[in-house]
Structure 1
Amino acid sequence: MSLLTNDAKGVYVISVTPFHDNGDVDFDSLDRVTDFYLEKGATGITVLGMMGEAPKLTQAEAREIVARVISRAGKTPVVAGVSAPGLAAISELSKAVMDRGAAGVMIAPPGSLRTDEQITTYYSQACAAAGDGVPVVLQDFPLSTGVQISVPLMGRIIEENDQIVMLKHEDWPGLAKISALRDAESKGRRRISILCGNGGVFLPEEMARGADGAMTGFGYPEMMADVVALADAGDMDRAQDIFDAYLPLVRYEQQPGLGLAVRKYALVKRGAIASAALRKPGAGLAPAAIAEVERLIERQTKRLKEIG
């Protein structure tokens, strides 16, 4: 499998981690959902992300999940989240996943970082911990991590760490950050790939600002693949029409603490995984929420037929 580069583009779907109802990892469903993502247009797959319930996994489970997805994905690049409070854990998991054939690793900053100097030092150390030459995705998700990385600071981190080849952009509001990063590149700074998260809720605007695609999850990943492809081809009106058809469900998935349950429910409904179970702590959808999701899916299907 080839390594991740700074010109990566498309849709790297954040994979769910399927569980049996008893909490054990469901590896048969992991195979099935990997196939599902590829069939729906994924350019790459990202495992062990925040929406993959990575903090709930043991190190042994994490390594086995990465190995299984890499084996199933074939030549499709697989990125593994290796974020951890300590550098030793990052080093251990990075070596394990890269030895298995991962295309790169994703690292979010720990919430303990406060100053610009602490953040830049951390990323220099984290890149070294990941291993010499290992491609790194910097996950910028301040709503979750509490770590604010300004545009000038992001530029400094990029300039000082050649291993960082991609930004997983999840700042919110953050469209101006994409524009500023691309503007700096037009003036000579090293280019990196920008793939965006936040469930794709701002995907058309992010593509218009210069993003290369998406690295996030949704129960209907073909929406992201279509929007990215159409935007890349310059057909923003068609991209917006398709996005708008899915937007109510995208919005519903954005509920903190509930979004993953919604996503897993949709994946079960579509036959991609066997159970919508979340590993504890975590709960599924109440009957009222299920009824709301079903209504949104019904209206989504109707709207897609209307736009053709």
Structure 2
Amino acid sequence: MWKGVLPAVTTKFDEDGSLDHDEMLRCFRIQMDAGVDGLIACGSLGEGPMLSHEERIDVLKLCKEAAGAKPALLTVAEASTRDACALAQKAARAGADGLMVVPSTIYHTDPRETVATLRAIAQAGDLPIMIYSNRLAYRVDVTVEIMEELADDPRFVAVKESSDDIRRSTDIINRFGDRFDLLTGVDNLAFEALMVGAQGWVAGVGLAFPEETVAIWRLVQARRYDEALRIYRWFRPLLDLDVSTYLVQNIKLAEAIAIGSNERVRAPRLPLAGARRDAVERTIRAAIANRPTLPALA
């Protein structure tokens, strides 16, 4: 159902802290013009937990407007199952094409609770679901065994695999074949995941460099692996910016430099400063100075 490059978009703010609808629509259209295969709103990178439900639905609607016939998903990442179910219902009414679901963001559910939470959200929204498995950021590991328990519900269609263990991708394919669409959620493991069979990439740094992200995906699909690897090796220092406590600030700074956006974040986050900012900016500008010429793509 969901394959290719689906960036997890950032949320843009005005100077007064309200949503900047015009800037989001501009940035989302840059992604679509580069050839991405859909958009995911209000994930970790989109500062979803910092937004009200109403704001998240507004961002989703902008994604839908930009994406056109391609899918626009909303991330559900709530502390309580009740709030997650309420958001899933709101997303369905707003026309979401699916949900990307984190089991819980505060209480670290055990396997039985994880299954119950995911089933409840699926029932509430009645939409296709991408399970977001990220044991490092959210302390809940959606294991292969948990996926097996959920496999009887056809609403669970995909997995965003972010365990930081590339072996997990092969484990999922070996256990389930094509039952779930497998997408990588770790930017600096993307090439490796695609090479072992991932069918898509939930991209982060690609927001600032969408053409390169799409090129890697399409070259891998065309089995032009050497060309894809050349771009990926150039990309790696940038992709490392996604694997950080400061991924939101890092990537928003990259967007500001590369596509002329802004780096406003919602408190308690603050834009990067000092030595950390200098280091990130050097990485971004060095990559831009050595940006590769992309090969022709079908």
TM > 0.5 fold call: yes
In structure 2, give the amino acid aligned to 1:104: G
CA RMSD of aligned residues (A): 2.0
Task: Say if 1:33 and 1:272, in contact at 8 Å, map to a contact too.
Answer: no
Q: 2:140 aligns with which of 139, 142, 147?
A: 147
Structure 2 gap segments, 5+ residues each: none
The Cα shift of 1:62 comes to 1.4
The Cα shift of 1:302 comes to 4.2
> RCO greater where, 1 or 2, for CA within 8 Å and sep 6 or more?
1
**For residues 163 and 211 of structure 1, what CA distance do their matches in structure 2 show?**
20
The Cα shift of 1:306 comes to 7.5
Q: 2:169 aligns with which of 178, 182, 194?
A: 178
Q: 1:168 aligns with which of 141, 160, 167?
A: 160
**For residues 143 and 259 of structure 2, what CA distance do their matches in structure 1 show?**
42
Q: 2:36 aligns with which of 36, 42, 53?
A: 42
**For residues 201 and 293 of structure 1, what CA distance do their matches in structure 2 show?**
16
Task: Say if 2:49 and 2:77, in contact at 8 Å, map to a contact too.
Answer: no
The Cα shift of 1:307 comes to 8.2
In structure 1, give the amino acid aligned to 2:226: D
Structure 1 gap segments, 5+ residues each: none
The Cα shift of 1:236 comes to 1.7
Structure 2 vs 1, CA of residues 91 and 151 (structure 1 numbering), >3 Å: closer, same or farther? closer
Q: Which residue of 2 aligns with 1:260?
A: 248
Q: Which residue of 1 aligns with 2:226?
A: 237
The Cα shift of 1:154 comes to 2.0
Task: Say if 1:67 and 1:97, in contact at 8 Å, map to a contact too.
Answer: no
**For residues 84 and 301 of structure 1, what CA distance do their matches in structure 2 show?**
37
Structure 2 vs 1, CA of residues 136 and 306 (structure 1 numbering), >3 Å: closer, same or farther? closer
Task: Say if 2:13 and 2:20, in contact at 8 Å, map to a contact too.
Answer: yes
- Corresponding residue SS for 2:290: helix
**Is 1:201 aligned to residue 192 of structure 2?**
no
**For residues 243 and 269 of structure 1, what CA distance do their matches in structure 2 show?**
20
Q: 1:156 aligns with which of 149, 156, 159?
A: 149
Task: Say if 1:23 and 1:280, in contact at 8 Å, map to a contact too.
Answer: no
Q: Which residue of 2 aligns with 1:75?
A: 69
Q: 2:15 aligns with which of 1, 10, 21?
A: 21
The range that moved more, 238-247 or 263-272, is 263-272
Structure 2 vs 1, CA of residues 246 and 152 (structure 1 numbering), >3 Å: closer, same or farther? same
For normalisation by structure 2, the TM-score amounts to 0.90
Structure 2 vs 1, CA of residues 154 and 292 (structure 1 numbering), >3 Å: closer, same or farther? same
In structure 1, give the amino acid aligned to 2:107: S
Percentage identity across aligned positions?
22
Q: Which residue of 2 aligns with 1:135?
A: 128
In structure 1, give the amino acid aligned to 2:201: A
In structure 1, give the amino acid aligned to 2:95: G
Q: Deviations over 1:168-226 (max 9, x none)?
A: 111112x111111111234xxx611111112x110111001110011131132323211
The Cα shift of 1:255 comes to 2.5
**For residues 152 and 223 of structure 1, what CA distance do their matches in structure 2 show?**
35
Task: Say if 1:29 and 1:272, in contact at 8 Å, map to a contact too.
Answer: no
The Cα shift of 1:50 comes to 1.1
Q: 2:88 aligns with which of 79, 86, 94?
A: 94
Q: Which residue of 2 aligns with 1:9?
A: 3
Q: 1:277 aligns with which of 245, 253, 264?
A: 264
For normalisation by structure 1, the TM-score amounts to 0.88
**For residues 272 and 9 of structure 1, what CA distance do their matches in structure 2 show?**
28
